């Protein structure tokens, strides 16, 4: 290998500092060095290719997970420019890969930098966080190649051959001295690329996994764009109208919206800004909701479906059973919220609102039967809400009479400061009993739940209030539900779901997550919902402390550590916990409730959305998809976790 001599000029030293900073503070650039951060590396590279597609020059992107977790991304765009920068004496391509936010891709040709979860930190960050990376460019009749090690140029760009094709290919190996794991999760990448293909009409994205025994391959291309997206989201539901409502506006702030109602009661509105999934919503969603309510009410009044004297249909009524995807492109997006996924640009609300008012009313005029079908559902939802209000009044009056506003089963804690208090929602009375005895009653409350919860998939709001299994949860949390939910009223800073690691536990977890996602969403957005992680195994032997293992890996590590101390497997007794009830109060406290030793998993919006989708699959009306899901997951049934 020839000795690599390079005199760095002032500018290049600044570049090195930049990439050194990235390696010192990777979390600032890609959020974390967990598997989520690892996936961001792939999204960042793919987003640059998507940008080339948005500019109209790339029609295909191929992603390959090669053995040893090397990633290869290839597009058939124009190829990153290879001309030499007169100032820096290095090529545009090398600049893009060695300077932070270089290359003016931010707001480039298409004007909208499509950016990964952390909003387009640029390819140079991926380079800095890779043990090595190599870029092959085909353009202007030639093939060019350059390579890097931990962000530093190893081989500058040079022409290595001729080619008639154009495009960019990037291969990289993430740096295992930075990331906790290099193991990519195929399903996670598959879901994200499916979403990107839906959002970029006509673009073909392929994903191939060459690591394990059976190679896996996925192919996504949707000429239908967002229409295909809502049909996919409704694949396990019964649509009320076969043709989705599709409205769009081009111009400075392009807006695309697809809507398809189903017979379910849930509301699923997905919003994107520059292809970023804004799961916390924002101004685009607010504008959409306002216009949807106004347009449907105006139409209902004009067609006498609603009498003048009738009260207006409320937003909840109109959004019952809706599945919608809203995709806007914004040059300078402002992201807010807990996970920077809430759109803040105020001008977007008005743009979306006026576009929906205008184009949706035209659609309804031109499709009266679809309009009628949807409005019939809204009117019946409105009647059910009215019934729910009455039911709630009844419950309130009844409970006011009994003046016990807290559920009988709740073993409350003595502190009343929500900041420090936590409530464990425990499956089953036996575990509930041990939890009550084992807990620290100063700040830990216990709410035992029994038997199968109500199937929120099939229930309307009125059934939720009156339901004797969910009502205790509503009263314990103390902040109401639906659009009456007021996060400032929560009685506990942590709501912890503690259920067995078996199928029943997974079912209860799914139902509770779906319930929180649908009726107490701010609780999840605000990071108040957690899952308790009870141990799976206990290793014990006379004379040594019991060892608790939370995963199979933990168990293997424990065996190895003990072997090093001369204790062999045969000398140990292994207990596999089937359920929480097998632990006595002290063990439950020590392994699962003591803040010093327990493991809690904070529930994210993605977890909740996935639970919601899984619930629809498991509990929805259509049978085949449920059977497919169970067969597909049967082999993991011991971990049928959400």
Q: Which residues bind ligand 28F (CB under 6 A)?
A: 45, 48-49, 52, 73-75, 77-78, 80-81, 92, 96, 103-105, 108, 168, 170
| Nearest to 58, CA basis, from 67, 66, 49 | 49
> For the chain, how are helix, strand and coil distributed in percent, rounded to 5?
40, 20, 35
CA distance 533 to 600: 6
Active-site annotation holder among 20, 140, 267, 502? 502
Smallest gap, in angstroms, from Cβ of residue 52 to ligand 28F? 4
- CA angle 61/83/145 to nearest 5° reads 50
Tokens 């067969």 map to which residue? Answer: 631
Q: Report the Cα 67 to chain-centroid distance in Å.
A: 27
Nearer to ligand 28F, 92 or 499 (CB): 92
> Least distance to ligand 28F from the beta carbon of 63, Å?
9
504 catalytic per annotation: yes
Min CB(536)–ligand 28F separation in Å: 41
Catalytic residue (one of 109, 185, 504, 621) = 504
3-class secondary structure per residue, 385-408: HHHHHHHHHHHHHHHHHHCCCCCC
| Shortest distance, position 48 Cβ to ligand 28F, whole Å | 3
Nearest residue to ligand 28F on Cβ basis: 103
Nearer to ligand 28F, 53 or 349 (CB): 53
How far CA 514 is from CA of 364, 381, 453, in Å, comes to: 32, 20, 11
Closer CB to ligand 28F, residue 80 or residue 524? Answer: 80
d(CA 605, CA 200): 24
Q: With beta carbons less than 8 A apart as the criterion, state whether 153 and 94 touch.
A: yes
Minimum CB distance to ligand 28F smaller for 53 or for 479: 53
- Closer Cβ to ligand 28F, 104 or 141, answer by number: 104
DSSP secondary structure, 416-462, as one string: --TTT-EEEEEESHHHHHHHHHHS-TTTEEEEEE-SPPP-TTT--HH
Please state the closest distance from residue 85 (CB atom) to ligand 28F, in A: 9
CA distance 538 to 555: 9
Active site residue 552: no
For this structure, is 502 an active site residue? yes
- Reference 182, options 170, 194, 190, 174; nearest CA is 174
Closest among 472, 459, 501 to 591, alpha carbons compared: 501
- The pair of structure tokens assigned to 477 is 């949390």
Q: Which of 427, 525, 590, 612 is catalytic?
A: 427
The gap between the terminal CA atoms of the chain, to the nearest Å, is: 50
Q: Is 427 labeled as catalytic in the residue annotation?
A: yes
Q: How far is the CB of 193 from ligand 28F (least distance, A)?
A: 13
Cα–Cα distance for residue pair 473/452, rounded to 1 Å: 14
In angstroms, give the least distance from the CB of 254 to ligand 28F: 20
Which residue, 74 or 209, is less far from ligand 28F as judged by CB? 74
CB closer to ligand 28F, 172 vs 443: 172
CB of 166 to ligand 28F, least distance (A): 9
Task: Give whichever of 135 and 325 is closer to ligand 28F, judged by the CB atom.
Answer: 135
- Which residue among 500, 590, 607, 612 is the active-site one? 500
Stated length of the chain:
642
Alpha-carbon dihedral 25, 26, 29, 35, rounded to 10 degrees: -150
- Residues marked active site are found at 427, 500, 502, 504
């Amino acid at each position: 290998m020839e000795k690599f001599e390079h005199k760095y000029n002032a500018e290049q030293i600044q570049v090195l500092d930049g990439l050194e900073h990235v390696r010192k503070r990777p979390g600032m650039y890609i959020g974390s060095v967990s598997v989520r951060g690892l996936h961001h590396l792939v999204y960042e590279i793919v987003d640059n290719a998507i940008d080339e597609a948005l500019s109209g020059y790339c029609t295909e992107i191929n992603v390959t997970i090669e053995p040893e977790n090397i990633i290869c991304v290839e597009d058939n765009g124009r190829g990153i420019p290879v001309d030499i920068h007169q100032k820096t004496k290095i090529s545009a391509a090398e600049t893009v890969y060695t300077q932070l936010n270089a290359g003016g891709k931010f707001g480039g040709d298409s004007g909208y930098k499509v950016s990964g979860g952390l909003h387009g930190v640029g390819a140079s960050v991926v380079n800095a966080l890779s043990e090595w990376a190599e870029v092959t460019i085909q353009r202007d009749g030639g093939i060019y190649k350059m390579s890097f090690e931990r962000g530093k140029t190893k081989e500058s760009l040079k022409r290595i051959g001729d080619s008639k094709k154009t495009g960019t290919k990037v291969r990289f190996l993430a740096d295992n001295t930075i990331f906790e794991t290099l193991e990519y999760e195929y399903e996670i990448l598959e879901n994200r690329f499916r979403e990107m293909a839906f959002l970029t009409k006509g673009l073909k994205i392929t994903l191939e996994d060459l690591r394990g025994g059976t190679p896996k391959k996925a192919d996504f291309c949707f000429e239908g764009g967002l229409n295909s997206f809502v049909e996919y989201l409704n694949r396990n539901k019964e649509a009320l109208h076969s043709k989705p409502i599709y409205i769009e506006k081009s111009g400075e702030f392009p807006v695309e919206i697809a809507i398809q109602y189903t017979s379910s009661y849930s509301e699923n509105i997905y919003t994107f800004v520059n292809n970023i999934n804004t799961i916390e919503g924002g101004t685009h969603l607010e504008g959409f909701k306002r216009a949807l309510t106004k347009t449907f009410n105006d139409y209902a009044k004009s067609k006498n479906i609603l009498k003048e004297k009738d009260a207006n249909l409320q937003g909840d009524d109109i959004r019952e059973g809706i599945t919608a995807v809203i995709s806007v492109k914004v040059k300078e997006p402002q992201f807010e919220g807990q996970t920077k996924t809430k759109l803040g640009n105020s001008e977007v609300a008005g743009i979306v609102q006026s576009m929906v008012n205008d184009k949706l009313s035209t659609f309804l005029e031109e499709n009266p039967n679809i309009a009628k079908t949807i409005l019939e559902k809204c009117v019946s939802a409105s009647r059910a809400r009215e019934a729910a209000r009455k039911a709630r009044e009844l419950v309130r009056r009844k409970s006011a009479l009994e003046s016990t506003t807290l559920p009988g089963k709740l073993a409350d804690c003595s502190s009343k400061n929500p900041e420090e208090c936590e409530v464990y929602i425990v499956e089953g009375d036996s575990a509930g009993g041990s939890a009550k005895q084992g807990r620290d009653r100063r700040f830990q409350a216990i709410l035992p739940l029994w038997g199968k919860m109500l199937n929120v998939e099939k229930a309307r709001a009125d059934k939720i209030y009156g339901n004797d299994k969910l009502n205790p949860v509503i009263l314990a949390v103390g902040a109401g539900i639906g659009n009456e939910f007021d996060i400032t009223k929560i009685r506990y800073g942590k709501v912890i779901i503690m259920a067995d690691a078996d199928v029943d536990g997974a079912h209860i977890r799914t139902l509770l997550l779906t319930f929180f996602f649908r009726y107490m969403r701010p609780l999840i957005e605000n990071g108040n919902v957690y899952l308790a992680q009870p141990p799976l195994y206990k290793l014990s032997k006379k004379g040594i402390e019991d060892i608790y293992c939370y995963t199979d890996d933990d168990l293997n590590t424990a065996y190895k550590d003990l072997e090093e101390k001369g204790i062999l497997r045969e000398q140990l007794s292994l207990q596999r916990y089937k359920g929480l009830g097998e632990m006595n109060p002290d063990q439950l406290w020590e392994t699962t409730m003591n803040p010093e030793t327990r493991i809690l998993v904070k529930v994210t919006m993605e977890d909740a959305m996935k639970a919601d989708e899984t619930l629809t699959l498991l509990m929805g009306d259509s049978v085949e998809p449920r059977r497919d899901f169970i067969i597909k997951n049967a082999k993991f049934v011991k971990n049928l976790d959400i």
